[in-house]
């Protein structure tokens, strides 16, 4: 299929098989390798991206299902790593091996867009499907709270890339 997608605020022409998973298109065709392959079955969350702001497992969506929806990957969350979540992740030294973290941050970004000041239960519910073999869950929770506080203090810092600006309020 030939189509033109909106990815991270930019229009990209693609020509891929209908049934190619979005994750494959992102990594192997568009060279956006920040989004990771974990299980390939929707069970780990490593491949989480946003479709029209909704956290979505890219391994479960075929190219033909994307349609006109805006795609945001970890590369599009901010142009320079200045998104509050990215800064909080660095400040609290959240990652261990790092493999799951792009998916964690994308799920957290969708949560903050929906609930700017999430409580523990909100965080637990939103992050439930994102697994971390290194067990960084406590730091993830604290980083989400820190990012929420940062965004509240400087709302304009919530996203600097075109794709992210629309999603993180």
Q: Which stretch binds ligand FES (CB under 6 A): 44-52, 106-114, 118-126, 156-164?
A: 44-52
Residue 43 or residue 152: which is nearer to ligand FES going by CB?
A: 43
SS (H, E, C) the chain: CEEEEEECCEEEEEECCCCCEHHHHHHHHCCCCCCCCCCCCCCCCCCEEEECCEEEECCCCEHHHHCCCCEECHHHCCCCCCCHHHHHHHHCCCCCCCCCHHHHHHHHHHHHHHCCCCCHHHHHHHHCCCCCCCCCHHHHHHHHHHHHHHHHHCHHHHCCCHHHHCCCC
Residue 1 or residue 43: which is nearer to ligand FES going by CB?
A: 43
Q: Is residue 90 a contact residue for ligand FES (CB under 6 A)?
A: no
Contact residue for ligand FES among 18, 28, 39, 119 (CB under 6 A)? 39
Residue 38 or residue 84: which is nearer to ligand FES going by CB?
A: 38
- For ligand FES, the binding residues (CB under 6 A) are 37-40, 42-47, 57, 59, 95-101, 132-134, 136
């Amino acid at each position: 299929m030939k189509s033109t997608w909106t990815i991270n605020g930019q229009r990209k022409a693609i020509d891929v098989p209908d049934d190619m998973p979005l994750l494959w298109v992102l990594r192997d065709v568009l060279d956006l390798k920040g989004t990771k392959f974990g299980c390939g079955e929707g069970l780990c969350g490593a491949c989480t991206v946003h479709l029209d702001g909704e956290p979505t497992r890219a391994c479960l969506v075929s190219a033909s299902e994307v349609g006109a929806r805006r795609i945001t990957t970890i590369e599009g969350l901010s142009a320079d790593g200045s998104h509050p979540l990215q800064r909080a992740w660095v400040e609290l030294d959240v990652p261990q091996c790092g493999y799951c973290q792009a998916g964690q941050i994308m799920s957290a970004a969708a949560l903050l867009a929906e609930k700017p000041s999430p409580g523990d239960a909100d965080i637990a519910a939103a992050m439930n499907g994102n697994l971390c073999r290194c067990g960084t869950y406590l730091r993830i929770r604290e980083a989400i709270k820190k990012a929420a506080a940062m965004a509240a203090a400087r709302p304009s810092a919530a996203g600097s890339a075109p794709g992210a600006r629309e999603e993180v309020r």
